[in-house]
Structure 1
């Protein structure tokens, strides 16, 4: 039944991942934004499944219900790209479509560059190929500031204090990190990844179709750079959404149907390439 959403915990690249799966049919992997979780796709998952897709929505390492990444908060979006590739293997997905927004958009664009032969197509929203516009020095300074007694840090320290002495230190750390949502260290690290990720040199070698999407009102995105990215991809196109900002899947009323249309177009183009 497409209305049911299955929740799974499974090992992916050395840590426990939380994944929601709905429907059967063409697999579609959906990747969330910086510091957030798969809950951002809550209005899309069941509806997209009802349209004939197997929808796979993970929480990236350190986000939502997934364990922290083995090496700590991630500052290199290639790590997320490789993790998504490992998730595809773990679930046995056959050349899925991949969709992402913001750091998720950059992550799926990275998948197209480095793992394009394993996927059928990409929808990269609120993303382009060059480094995102953020103040890296300020973000790195903010990583030092997260040691201040903020609300999330008090939760973190309070959780550690409330655990029994028999709990191993590694497990205690993992539990404490899971208790503070949106972890500011994870969010800031994600944004550092956003500001350093650059796949411009690999665009010409992408072998799957790519649809880039930008909201016209998105303050984080230069639509001209989105257009330029699409122009460098052999089968790349772009769409600008009027009146929409940085989070199309949360802002648009019937986003699932719109995404279904983009996926159908990608499928047609993938058949032509094949």
Structure 2
């Protein structure tokens, strides 16, 4: 069962209370894990036990996703609000400049936290925000179609499909290069998470205007991209390196958009290396 923490975030209508669900395990320097749009903290399950041997791992359900409620009235699911919410979360948990790793939307948020000097290091796996407009429209169209499918499929059918490798491929091959490796229970849970994500539509709308164009000076940055990413093509990693020239750019051979499940050992090593400043500050 996750823990919950509530804290205050400023808004144009005055302070608002935000509640976030999270899980915390392991020992060592703190490492905050941020998932992608429509996903939940369990996206990191394949690597958490490896990371926890060297880090205190805090896996978060972003506001409006997983078991975290949507942002209250007066707050919107845009980057500045999410920065404030994640900063408030870290303060509430006593995390002073943790390391942060994120995937997709979470990767973009991790880079934003790095740009604001709120974290010690950033590892971004296929981060959003380095797209051209056609690439963004394609990705958002795919995400919207995945959301419609998740909301339209009856739960008994999702459960039945998840029992076979072919069914898991049908449900998740857009984000996993090796969907057969995902457990049936995980596929059902993440399909439900996508269907019920209260923050999905507003986050997608806010993303129309998003591009990451600033360097992240003074913070070690690693950007890693799966060679089989079907949602955000790996050429976007080259653009990320151009924007953040001191970043370490890493290929994840055979991995898709959500690489933690495709190659847990490789991804865990990249995350651990990225949170070792002397290694991550190429």
TM-score (normalizing by structure 2): 0.70
**Partner of 2:199: helix, strand, or coil?**
helix
Superposition pairs for residues 149-164 of structure 1, below 5 Å?
Answer: none
- Pick closer, same or farther for the CA change 1:64–1:269 going to 2, 3 Å: closer
User: Is contact 2:131–2:211 with CA below 8 Å preserved after alignment?
Assistant: yes
Q: Does 1:256 align with 2:277?
A: no
Q: CA offsets per residue over residues 150-173 of structure 1, 9 Å max, x none?
A: 579xxxxxxxxxxxxxxxxxxxxx
**Partner of 1:249: helix, strand, or coil?**
helix
- How far residue 71 of structure 1 moved from its aligned partner, in angstroms, is 3.3
**Partner of 1:257: helix, strand, or coil?**
helix
CA RMSD of aligned residues (A): 3.1
For the residues of structure 2 that align with 1:108 and 1:253, how far apart are their CA atoms?
20
For the residues of structure 1 that align with 2:63 and 2:36, how far apart are their CA atoms?
12
- How far residue 190 of structure 1 moved from its aligned partner, in angstroms, is 3.1
- How far residue 217 of structure 1 moved from its aligned partner, in angstroms, is 1.0
Which residue number in structure 2 is paired with residue 226 of structure 1? 237
Pick one of 15, 18, 43 that aligns with 2:18: 15
For the residues of structure 1 that align with 2:207 and 2:260, how far apart are their CA atoms?
19
For the residues of structure 2 that align with 1:211 and 1:257, how far apart are their CA atoms?
12
- How far residue 209 of structure 1 moved from its aligned partner, in angstroms, is 1.3
- Pick closer, same or farther for the CA change 1:194–1:226 going to 2, 3 Å: farther
For the residues of structure 2 that align with 1:73 and 1:151, how far apart are their CA atoms?
31
TM-score (normalizing by structure 1): 0.71
Superposition pairs for residues 111-122 of structure 1, below 5 Å?
Answer: 111-113=113-115, 115-116=116-117, 118-122=118-122
- How far residue 42 of structure 1 moved from its aligned partner, in angstroms, is 1.3
**Partner of 2:30: helix, strand, or coil?**
strand
**Partner of 1:17: helix, strand, or coil?**
strand
- Pick closer, same or farther for the CA change 1:67–1:198 going to 2, 3 Å: same
Which runs of no fewer than 5 residues in structure 2 stay unpaired? 10-16, 155-191
Which residue number in structure 1 is paired with residue 169 of structure 2? none
User: Is contact 1:27–1:55 with CA below 8 Å preserved after alignment?
Assistant: yes
Q: CA offsets per residue over residues 25-45 of structure 1, 9 Å max, x none?
A: 111000011111101111222
Which residue number in structure 2 is paired with residue 246 of structure 1? 257
